[in-house]
A and B are shown apart, each in its own frame.
Chain A
Amino acid sequence: MSSHDTAVNTRAERRSKRSRRNRAVVAWTFFGFVALQLTFFPASMLWPPIQDGEYGHKIVNLRNHLKQKPADRPAIVMFGSSLTGWGLNPGAMSNVKAAPSRGAVVYNFGINSSGVMVELACLKRLLNAGIRPDLVLIETHPWFLFEGYNHVHDKHHFFPVNRTQLQDFSVFMRYDANPTQLVFDWAWNHVIPWYDHRHDLQNTLLPKWVPREKRIGVWDYTDQHGWEGGLTSQSTPLTPAEVLASAKYHVEAMSYAPIFPESERAFREIVAVCREAKIPVTLVRMPEMTVMREGPPAFTDKVEKFYADLHKDTKVRIIDARAWADDAHFTDGFHLYPPGSIAFSTRLERELVTPFVASFAPSAGTNLIR
């Protein structure tokens, strides 16, 4: 072999070695990237706020409460929308505030811009996460008996897809009118999950890096019991006339709409799920303005019939809290100002929490299975 051949061979060998090295780098980059993206899913299970700040902070907070709670005190969790989020103020309940180390845990699990399907999904999420309340309260309001109020803006989904978890498909697929579209939208929002969820992540871990107008920060206005009363100061207050007009507008709109069968199905499923888990459940008809309570018969008749049928079929307890707040306590006809939330919460305590705490049997088991 000549020196020329040797040089050629050495060059070829070097080239081949370089090529192997480059191939390995590219392969490690590709698989490393895919693996890192996949870590999002277990990471979001370990630390839920990175996928959904509002829900995540609430479940982390609830878990901390339950860890500290003595076994002989009950845990009561209320699911709902912003009506609950702004309205249920457990800190105003003497059972909660008088003896924090001995009192009951009453936790507000209201999620803004949600509806009955989201209540069902959140209940299932909590059960799947090993959290088992001693009593479940379910917010109900005429809004959520109608289709339009249960959906995310112009989409036929019940929840923003980027906040939807894989486990929610067991609920949403059965309720969404276009499940294929839901799957597609969800997949599109999870192609690069760390990128798609960066907003929640930054809001949670690096809030100072997020422009003020882009901050979600619902949890900045949420107290330790999940009450989002601080949010009321963030919205421009309406005049009494505007509040009244808003309530009238919604009553009018709902007078012409039929009851959404999926809402009815979801309420029944919530009751069934709780019963299967042996958790008592109570529906709470949220406070509303007089104009709604005394709305036109076209509206009130079908709403009352709905609740009567639901109670007759499921025997679920329904608490009528519609008149527990003054008309002046509403921000927009539905959401309560802090004084309204205190009025509602103290009455709820008197009517429901205190009797439940008094009759609570500690042998019911632990609230934190995992």
Chain B
Amino acid sequence: MLFCSTAYFVFFCIVFAAYWAMPWQRARVWLLLGASVYFYASWNKWLALIICVSTAADYLIARGMDSPTATTGRRKLLLTVSLVGNLGLLCYFKYMNFFLHSVEEALRAMGAESSMPVLNVMLPIGISFYTFEAISYTVDVYQRRIQAERNLFHFMLFITFFPHLVAGPIVRARDFLPQISRSKHWNWARLHLGIQYFLVGMFKKMVIADRMAGFSDPVFADPASFGSAAVWLAMLAYALQIYCDFSGYTDMAIGTAHMLGYKLAPNFNLPYLSANVSEFWRRWHISLSTWLRDYLFIPLGGSRVSEWKVSRNLIIVMALGGLWHGAAWTFVVWGLLHGMFLIVHREFRAFCERRPSLDRALQSPVGTVGRIAATFLCVSFAWVFFRATTFSAAIAFVKRLAFWSDGSMVELTFHSCLTLAAVVLVCHILMYIEFWKRMVERLPPAVLGVSYAAIITLTLILTPETAKVFIYFQF
């Protein structure tokens, strides 16, 4: 059930009406839990059972760790069980075939003949997201940052809350669990905010991302049959597609949560206006980057170690971050590229600090625009490996980028893509100068409301016929 489908529209209307019609907080929690399980089961009911069982196990483990009689050894053991269980499920469903295939390839490269079995498993949608949520919860309980949740239903709702279940944001227990216990009151401001988020997300996903997909998909499928101009444009189109797809999903999730009285953490903050890659990661997929920082980078020593170790930590974190996205070497290369960009940026920053005139030039408006453009190009280049289905396809794409060749252009929707790219740029600038915020505050309610309705209708009209699944659903 996609957020941008008629089925979801009907589903949400029913949940929303029933939720606010109920006077009891406990019943509302049950309703949301039931709706979330139904939402997940609409893809596959057996996978919904897996998430329920693993969530119940994490609940019990955390209770065990939080017990006053629990010794340090027992707590450690329980944490290990939780980590092994969660990561084991993730590895089994997501990485097992990848590992087996990689071993087979490695053996073949060494001259040994081998045939590894292929597991016929279905990837539970959103497993990477809810696994990270569960891990952060048990680690936080182990480190006594939070207390274990007493109420099983509350804990299950924390993991399965349908707006964030399949593609984040990765919520933290300390942010979300207290919200469940708090009784909710109807709030027009919250509803207004939710509608704003939802319609912005809808526009990003349905109009821009899906339209850009029409341009980038054929080129990524067979880059060799297109000219360099088409390949460059496809790379830029994909950069816009993935941003609008994922941030569109997040906006819709945040909007839906607001309408139900919940607040989810922001996940994006105009990432393509970042002036360097380090800043990009503070603005892109914020819930994942902070998770990686808190549960991987800092435990590895963070940046308070020698320069060599910081670089090593960055490479490890980004490579694992890449692998988190998908079970393929292309994702690992994407992560490694970002790790390298971060290291280069650190070095370059240190270099600039020793040269104040260069630093001033880079901080000037023209220098900032140049840095934003350079960062955007680096990030867009890395997306090639993220998007390519195989390593050889990525290399073919990069060759076309690097060595100019004439060839066919994507006739399809070229004009629409250019128009929409201009719309994205203008929207970014408007958001940056807070024009949108000022308009929302100043416009008369009738004008504002009808404008929202018109934007929703325009979005619906411009949506391509075939709805695309959100890219991050596969992770």
Measured CB to CB, the residues of A under 8 A from B are 18-19, 21-33, 35-37, 188, 191-192, 194-196, 198-199, 201-202, 206, 208-212, 214
Contacts and interface: CB of A to CB of B under 8 A. Distances in A.
B416 A209 contact: yes
B69 to A, nearest CB: 48
Interface residues of B, number: 33
Which of B449, B452, B463 gathers most chain A CB within 10 Å? B449
B110 interface: no
Could you tell me the dominant secondary structure of chain A's interface residues? helix
Given A30-B449, A191-B10, 14 more contacts: A23-B188, A24-B446, A25-B445, A26-B195, A26-B449, A28-B448, A28-B452, A29-B450, A29-B452, A32-B449, A202-B461, A206-B416, A210-B413, A211-B412
A24 B465 contact: no
Given A191-B10, A209-B211, A209-B413, A214 B465 contact: yes
A211 B413 contact: yes
Which of A30, A195, A198 gathers most chain B CB within 10 Å? A195
A22 B192 contact: yes
B452 A25 contact: yes
Contacts of A27: 449
Interface of B: 6, 9-10, 187-189, 191-192, 195, 211, 214, 411-413, 415-416, 445-446, 448-450, 452-454, 456-457, 460-466
Contacts, number: 101
Nearest to A28: B449
Contacts of A30: 449, 453
A210 B6 contact: no
A191 B454 CA distance: 17
A201 B457 CA distance: 13
B9 A208 contact: no
Contacts of A36: 453-454, 457
Identify the 3 closest CB pairs spanning chains A and B, nearest first: A28-B449, A32-B453, A24-B445
A19 B188 contact: yes
B457 to A, nearest CB: 5
A13 to B, nearest CB: 15
B456 A33 contact: yes
A41 to B, nearest CB: 14
Contact of B188 (A26, A191, A201, A208): A26
23 contacts: A19-B188, A22-B192, A25-B192, A25-B452, A26-B188, A26-B192, A28-B446, A28-B452, A29-B450, A30-B453, A31-B453, A32-B449, A32-B452, A33-B457, A35-B453, A36-B454, A194-B461, A198-B463, A199-B465, A206-B416, A211-B412, A212-B412, A214-B464
B233 to A, nearest CB: 16
A195 B188 contact: no
A195 B460 contact: yes
Contacts of A198: 460-463, 465
A23 B462 CA distance: 28
B160 to A, nearest CB: 27
B445 A21 contact: yes
A194 B188 contact: no
B9 A191 contact: yes
Contacts of B9: 191-192
Contacts of B449: 24-32
Contacts of A195: 6, 460-461, 463
Which of B416, B445, B448, B464 gathers most chain A CB within 10 Å? B445
